[in-house]
Chains A and B, each alone.
Chain A
Amino acid sequence: MHPAFSVIFLTTLIGAGQGLFLALYAAEVGAFLDALPPQAAHGFFAIGSTLAVVFLGAGLFASFFHLGRPERAWRTVAMWRTSWLSREVIVLPAFMGLVAAYGAAHYFGLGDTLLVGAIAMLACVALFVCTGMIYACIKFLQEWATPLTVINFILLGCASGFTFAAAFAAATGSALTGEFAGWAVTFTVAAFLTRAASLIRNQRLKPKSTLQTAVGIKHPRIVQKAQGFMGGSFNTREFFHGASPALVRAVKWGFLVLVFPLPAVLLAAGAYFQSTPVLIVAFVVQYLGLMLERWFFFAQANHPQNLYYQAVS
């Protein structure tokens, strides 16, 4: 598939926003259970929720660039019974609203923040599932059609969100820097395991569709001689990434370094030295890595329609 930057930004930004919210809520639940030191309502929860909403809003904004007719975007809420995309479009603004309400409840001291946060957490999980299922539900995109897709979205989002939370905690002088950094490393390691699992799985995939099933001729040697047009078409632009195999490989190794080991080391160092800049660098490095990861996620998916578009003439 051709990686679209609008979707790369959408999925990485909302992932970070969701992870950040989960970090905030974990801090509140931890304080409630007397396991963690309590945090400031204004300086910590309200600002943190605002930052989460900014991430989510930026992702939502980016998603509009994917649409041919963004002015009709409101129509997407119609088919939530069948379409994961429709469900995502409903859950994303709902989650943004809940996070905003969560921040506001803290800011104005309204109480019930644990309850609002619990509802927001459910919406957060639902959003992760919707985002992942948009890709995982297309069964003939075999690289995506696995539960690992959803799990990776969840773990990678949590990793970057908790990394940001660690930097945020350090910047606001919160006592939770070490905790957040530790959880961020844990999520990063877990995400590494599941992402590596999906890479290994995809390497072994055998495409179910072949040129034989695509044209229905049972002969071992079929070669396309003409795809029906000389210039490109939507089908040659949307479904091929057009990058060289060397570049694809470089992106894969790039994200494997930038998303996992490097941020883990930076997180450990940042937490040890209580250094805000190092933690910010950890987040930036991991976010850039996640953009490469998402690019690779799209580029790796091999659509069966490509069988019909192998030769110009």
Chain B
Amino acid sequence: MTQLALIIDLNVCVGCHACVTSCKEWNTSGGAGYLSDDNPYERDPTGCFLNRVQTFEVGEFPNTQTVHFPKSCLHCEDPPCVPVCPTGASYKRAEDGIVLVDYDKCIGCKYCAWACPYGVREVDEHQKVMKKCTLCVDRIYDPKLPEAERKPACVMACPTNARLFGDIHDPESVVSKAIRENGGYQLMPEWGSKPANHYLPRRTTEMRLRADELERVDNPLKIDGLLPKPALKEPALDDVTTW
């Protein structure tokens, strides 16, 4: 079974909020209607967003790290928000594991938001229904988009490639490998909600060189070293080109 998810790499996220604005732009322009804002240019601006980037400081000065932390619905494999919904508006799709809200059924009782430990559901104060990340379900299957763009808007926007998108149930997928090889983890594992989205921790940055990057690939006979070195008094390439 497929379980689509986002992998957020905290090692490379620079906290630029490009995913936030891109998410807002895409999701306020779609068929499901706008994501409402109040006082956008006044005091106390507020609005409904499906993705937020937060910032934490870890450690004691001067040994601190600034961690930028994007947060959206984690599309839990055992989502506590779904069974509590009295109308069935909140549901988890069997085919790809995306947790969605049917905006035509939701009565805005907010019970699902109470039942999500992560604080990622936000009521739209004007449409009066619950909203949350849809993993851009209206992008990722759209045959009108070029294959390479069938990804969530946040993933497309991220300038540092801190957001990966794929099926975490396919062990060979990019996201599964990223989780496996980089210590990917889940948020608040203590509640058993099994979030599908994973986070990749801060880690030591290493130079990674492959063997073929050290040696010319178009040098199959390995004859580089056989060329005679010019003697000290002979003209070198520099002398030749100064003619």
Contacts and interface: CB of A to CB of B under 8 A. Distances in A.
A140 B191 contact: yes
Interface in B25-56: 39, 43-49, 52-56
Given A66-B109, A69-B129, A305-B117, A76 B86 contact: yes
Contact of A75 (B54, B57, B107, B122): B107
Given A68-B108, A68-B128, A228-B54, A304 B84 contact: no
Given A79-B86, A86-B86, A239 B119 contact: yes
A89 B108 contact: no
21 contacts: A67-B108, A67-B109, A72-B105, A76-B107, A79-B83, A83-B111, A85-B84, A86-B87, A140-B80, A140-B191, A215-B67, A216-B185, A223-B57, A228-B54, A231-B45, A233-B46, A234-B48, A238-B110, A304-B117, A304-B188, A305-B119
Contact of A69 (B44, B108, B125, B199): B108
Interface stretch (B58-66, B137-145, B151-159, B211-219): B58-66
A217 B117 contact: no
A249 interface: no
B66 A75 contact: no
B128 A224 contact: no
Would you list the 5 A-B pairs with minimal beta carbon distance, nearest first? A68-B108, A305-B119, A68-B128, A86-B86, A228-B52
Interface in A53-82: 66-70, 72-73, 75-79, 82
Contacts of B109: 66-68, 76, 85
B88 interface: yes
Contact of A308 (B43, B44, B118): B118
Contacts, number: 177
Interface in B184-233: 185-191, 199, 201-202
Given A69-B106, A139-B191, A305-B116, A230 B45 contact: yes
Contacts of B188: 140, 209, 213-214, 304
B44 A231 contact: yes
Contacts of A233: 46-49, 122
Given A70-B107, A217-B201, A208 B56 contact: no
Interface in B46-104: 46-49, 52-60, 66-67, 69, 71, 80, 82-89
A229 B125 contact: no
Nearest to A88: B86
Contacts of B20: 228
B5 interface: no
B123 interface: yes
B27 to A, nearest CB: 15
A313 to B, nearest CB: 8
Nearest to B47: A233
